[in-house]
């Protein structure tokens, strides 16, 4: 359901998109990330044509130095981008309805 970001170039390209992009920063060892992934998979179906859902494994070697340049204090984290701008960064597990409301609000931004 979500696009796995494999390179820094992928990340930079996706975050410049005109449409809403939701990036899930995660790690295999984090149990909360597994729960959040299930929630995001459901939302990806609901917002299929309107939102790009992406994920980035913070333990991949190619991202170690790059992630230090982002304000990412912990995982799980969701970053929302639209029109090349970061709208929000949220840390921690959130309920489906909360994320759904955020997405709907961000889709209406001009």
In this predicted model, what pLDDT tens digit does every residue of 45-104 receive, in sequence order? 999 889 999 999 999 988 988 888 887 889 999 999 999 999 999 999 999 999 999 999
What local confidence, expressed as pLDDT, does residue 110 receive?
Answer: 67
- 17-56 per-position pLDDT tens digit: 999 999 999 999 999 999 999 999 999 999 988 999 999 9
Q: What angle do CA 56, 6, 26 make, to 5 degrees?
A: 15
**pTM of the full predicted structure?**
0.92
């Amino acid at each position: 359901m979500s696009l796995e970001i494999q390179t820094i170039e992928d990340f930079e390209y996706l975050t410049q998109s005109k449409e809403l992009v939701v990036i899930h920063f995660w790690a295999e060892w984090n149990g909360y990330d597994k729960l959040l992934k299930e929630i995001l998979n459901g939302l990806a179906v609901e917002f299929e044509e309107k939102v790009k859902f992406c994920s980035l494994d913070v333990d991949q070697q190619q991202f170690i130095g790059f992630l230090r340049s982002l304000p990412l204090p912990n995982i799980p984290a969701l970053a929302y981008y639209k029109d090349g701008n970061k709208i929000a960064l949220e840390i921690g597990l959130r309920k489906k309805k909360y994320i759904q409301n955020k997405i709907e609000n961000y889709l209406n931004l001009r």
